Structure 1
């Protein structure tokens, strides 16, 4: 994954994915932050109430959003209260947690050792990329892919890296997915069909404007307009050219949402820029 990969998210999206939402629904708080008896037994190994609460919060943050407590800007009050109530500890005790930074990291190491959380490796990155590749082939949008990558990391008990690192990972997946879709769309084209498609982008230097020779693809895209005889003849001519190409049907394995995205993107391209695309 090259370091020059483009940013896939806006600043606001990046900030949102790097913190715990203040408006997390009650059902999600119950889902992610309900402590099991085994959790309470592990937490109880720490004597002071402030440390028990701190360990519980650290464990919960690793579960969702999947980040270390030290990498988050804050913990929403509603979330802190829900965790503290289960331990019968006043939420205010959390204020003094972390006065010694070393203690926080010692607790983090203990949680990682006990629950199996760990920092990701490039081998893990490849596994995550393989897991989200089918989604990238079906839908090229970046935000859902980044959210899917986050979920894959959480499922593997891998501590989420910085958001820009995940962006680079997803960018790499998108490139692989795009190449695979391109191969899928062009694999059944004959040499003659490829040449004829390329010819649609060639401008005849001596052709007058607004004619088929000025830019065949532009001419093929023209709508019939008024139901006049000339417009009907032009439409029939356009349909005949398309039929004569005898292009293969869309591959059954290409997800419908992806070819719709491609169609929308292609509709916005003018023929001239299409000539310089790889």
Structure 2
């Protein structure tokens, strides 16, 4: 799954783009011939041409390439495909012998079959179309495979055969670069000169670290001084004055990607980006940071208020416990007084003397 340097797709992904299934159910779904197909194939006299044309017809259908291109990309015709196609025609794979060696015949057959199917081969003039298709897909994602599939889908819808995987990959890469530029411009297009200056200043030193690095450090313990620090950061972010509406100018997934990049990348790395990418990343990151700082401040305030109530409740409980002990002592004295008076009445003693004695 390794990706070559400066390439969009891994080797595995490149193989998947033009993959030929090997499972029989998938082969049947993609390559079962209709009577009209059998008629076209049967018009060829030699068995090798019949099987060759059948394979051409199958490959034009999926993945949308010629037999010559498959051999060039894969080095050989997949046996499972050849066997499945041959079985439908009552032929054998060995009947294909020498067909692939005749380049002109393969080319002529591919051109004829493509015209019958309303398809045409790709040309250099299709490159801008492919790049635009890639840019539309990349508006929401940076994933190479997703973008390449977007290009392939656009070509199929336009009834254009697929070019080489390298061409698809280069067009996809160019489209992704275009989408990135468009998204960055959408985020920063309306920034004032003062806002641009403020964004560039977040890399200035602020007590041993850049302002951006300081902003990234959000206190988590619920303490009064931490709330002050969070509010200071919040005021600093809001002072730049970036409108939350900016986020809606690009696809939500692309915006979240900018946010993730801003969170994960250290300040020194973001500072090295080209200006448009750097400022777009900061815009997305600061909008997200403002929201997180607000939430953290409210959450921390709730915790502090809750702790105050808890302490007050505990103090009240302790006071209640002390009061309960005093009441118990008073009740004991009261009981003894009643008992002394009752005994005095029963024995005829002086009640006051009885109380003093108790």
TM range (shorter): 0.7 to 0.9
* Mapped contact 2:8–2:173 kept (Cα < 8 A): yes
* 167 and 93 in structure 1: CA distance in 2 versus 1, 3 angstrom threshold: same
Say if 2:6 is the partner of 1:6: yes
Q: Secondary structure at the match of 1:47?
A: coil
Q: Tell me the equivalent position of 1:36.
A: 34
Gap regions ≥5 residues in structure 1: none
Q: Tell me the equivalent position of 1:259.
A: 255
How many Å separate the matches in 1 of 2:23 and 2:159?
21
User: Which of 195, 214, 218 lines up with 1:223 in the alignment?
Assistant: 218
* 63 and 139 in structure 1: CA distance in 2 versus 1, 3 angstrom threshold: same
Q: Tell me the equivalent position of 1:20.
A: 19
**How far apart are residue 25 of structure 1 and its match?**
6.9
How many Å separate the matches in 2 of 1:253 and 1:272?
27
Q: Tell me the equivalent position of 1:158.
A: 160
**How far apart are residue 58 of structure 1 and its match?**
0.9
**How far apart are residue 23 of structure 1 and its match?**
4.1
Q: Tell me the equivalent position of 2:45.
A: 47
How many Å separate the matches in 1 of 2:270 and 2:12?
32
Q: Secondary structure at the match of 1:118?
A: coil
How many Å separate the matches in 2 of 1:58 and 1:76?
13
Listed as ranges, the matches of 1:95-244 within 5 Å are: 95=97, 97-203=99-205, 208-209=207-208, 214-244=209-239
Say if 2:272 is the partner of 1:273: no
**How far apart are residue 190 of structure 1 and its match?**
2.1
- Relative to total residues, which structure has the larger helix share, 1 or 2? 2
* Mapped contact 1:139–1:258 kept (Cα < 8 A): yes
Structure number with higher relative contact order (C-alpha < 8 Å, ≥ 6 residues apart):
1
For the pair shown, the structure with the greater C-alpha radius of gyration is 2
